Amino acid sequence: MTVAVFLFSLLGAMALGMPIAFALLVCGAALMYHLDMMDAQIIAQNLINGADSFPLMAVPFFMLAGEIMNTGGLSKRIVAVALTLVGHVRGGLGYVVIIASCILAALSGSAVADAAALATLLFPMMVRAGHDPAKSAGLIAAGGIIGPIIPPSIGFIIFGVAAGLSISKLFLAGIVPGILIGAGLAVAWWLTARKENIEPMPKATKAEVVHAFVDGVWALILPGIIIFGLKFGIFTPTEAAVVCAVYALFVAMFIYRELKWKDLYKVIVTAAETTSVVMFLVAAALVSAWLITIAELPAEVARMLAPFMDNKMLLMLAMMALVVVVGTALDMTPTILILTPVLMPIVRQAGIDPIYFGVLFIINNSIGLITPPVGTVLNVVCGVARIKMDDIIKGVWPFMIAQLIVLALLIVFPILVTGPAKWFAG
């Protein structure tokens, strides 16, 4: 009965057109009424406690860093480096998208910011070169979702707070899986591009390669700083976010000089607006999360999954299938906040490594960003590239299937996640 109250109150509020954050508060109130413990003070207290978290301070700084990078010229220099390396091979612009996606992921941690930057810089180039617009936009959208997988990742921060796990360990565990997702995209693009008869770009000269690297070196060393600092405990993820934002601001204003003082206010306001949405979502979800625990909802879900409890692989497949279904209707942040308190007790009860589960959970949620009908990243790329949603949905399917295949391989072979994670963590 508790599961029914939870689902009907949440889905009913969403069906009425309520924003997700308010729907979560309605869901929490419904659970309180069902448990006969209705008290507005409990809702208010949990709402405040939900946002009162030191690790969550990383979110606004990573958001700000992403905005600064796109406005201050760091993103376009990363694209220029990738162009000089692989722009001349068959289907080279597609590989540029994938390489740039992986590098940008190590800078901002935001799928939306990365996809918007790539669509602005590379989509017109791909269309002019003769690539199919739908497939080009689909690849850019699929590449953008690497952002929440490779550290720093806003998704890992939110999951780590909700699950009570080390965000540093989640960051380090996401490096290799993120690269594997990129490799899967490269294979899918190779199969797609070989059907197109398009003249590749001229090969860059050594001088052009050197110039691109020298010009982009300030952007390229930032991922190394973050990973080095996290691996050796020099700073926490929250401190890494501050380092990232300050470094990006310094480079954009005083080295590349593309971010002017007059533009800084707009950049900060944009980052603040995005942050406020995320933080209110987190705060509202923590109300429901507390009540989910009180109502023993995870125990009810565990009983439903009892047939799979003795087989970790089947249990992971069942949980990942659930996340795929939910991801078609919900954005990444609410999915994390709703399902984490429900699934984590089951993960621990089954003896599954929580860090391993967290990496696969975030990968799955990231793929949800390009699954229709919600698909936040699809909508962003549609807006920037000015392409119809029907077209981009057709174009993204080959790349989404490739990412799901990589996710399946990570379920079958957990060592692909746990092995590198242990090595990076020392």
Task: Tell me which amino acid residue 417 is.
Answer: V
Give pLDDT tens digits for 71-105.
888 888 888 888 898 888 888 889 999 998 888 88
**Is 67 found in the same domain as 32?**
no
**Is 140 found in the same domain as 267?**
yes
Q: Can you point out the beta strands (E) in 101-207?
A: none
Write out the residue range of the structural domain in which residue 32 sits.
1-38
Give pLDDT tens digits for 319-360.
998 888 887 767 788 888 888 888 898 899 889 999 999 999
Could you tell me if residue 45 is inside a domain? no
Q: How many CB atoms lie within 10 A of CB 182?
A: 22
Query: What whole-number distance in Å separates Cα of residue 346 and Cα of residue 167?
Result: 20
Q: How many CB atoms lie within 10 A of CB 204?
A: 18
Query: What whole-number distance in Å separates Cα of residue 83 and Cα of residue 95?
Result: 9
**Is 120 found in the same domain as 225?**
yes
**Is 308 found in the same domain as 172?**
yes
What is the model's pLDDT at position 194?
82
**Mean predicted lDDT score pLDDT of the chain:** 84
**Is 58 found in the same domain as 27?**
no
Task: Tell me which amino acid residue 122 is.
Answer: L
**Is 67 found in the same domain as 18?**
no
**Is 3 found in the same domain as 76?**
no
Residue 2 in this model has a pLDDT that exceeds 70: no
**Is 247 found in the same domain as 131?**
yes
Query: What whole-number distance in Å separates Cα of residue 421 and Cα of residue 52?
Result: 29
Total length of the chain: 426
Query: What whole-number distance in Å separates Cα of residue 223 and Cα of residue 241?
Result: 11
Find, among 143, 220, 215, the residue nearest to 179 by Cα: 143
What is the model's pLDDT at position 367?
92
Could you tell me if residue 369 is inside a domain? yes
What total number of domains does the chain contain?
2
